Amino acid sequence: MSPAALRRAAPTADAMDLLRGMLEEQFAAHTARLTQLTVHARLPRRGGPDPRTLDAQAATARRRIAETAHALRRMSDGSYGACAQCRRPIPLGRLRAMPCATHCTPCERRRSP
């Protein structure tokens, strides 16, 4: 697909604003979650999840922070919304459900058998 065709198929400015808002919200939520987990891990044992569970939850929060940061970076460099594999536009419905998506559905299926 030509760069001009990709631009035409790219999400509209309004859709981008909406997606950016969603990503910023998710970024803030995951960051707050990681802070909470980090603080909790430092507290003396008072019930709550065991250290292993806390570690796993913190790892998930860190991964989600990285994914949202990566998506926001793609928004600033203009590559957001294009599939990392086939370069075709990722449908808006998929982006709204998963604003961090880096692949279109067919490529994603091929990636995870």
The DSSP secondary-structure symbol of 48 reads S
Question: How far apart are CB 88 and Zn ion at their closest, in Å?
Answer: 5
Q: Please pick, from the candidates 85, 91, 92, 94, the single residue that binds Zn ion as defined by CB under 5 A.
A: 85
86 binds Zn ion (CB under 5 A): yes
Q: Please pick, from the candidates 9, 15, 22, 107, the single residue that binds Zn ion as defined by CB under 5 A.
A: 107
The token pair at 104 is: 């279109």
Of the ranges 18-26, 47-55, 66-74, 98-106, which one interacts with Zn ion (CB under 5 A)?
98-106
98 binds Zn ion (CB under 5 A): no
Give the whole-angstrom CA distance, residue 6 versus residue 9.
5
Packing angle, helices 13-42 and 51-77, rounded to 10: 150
Tally of helices (H runs) and strands (E runs) in the chain: 5, 0
Residues that bind Zn ion (CB under 5 A): 83, 85-86, 104, 107
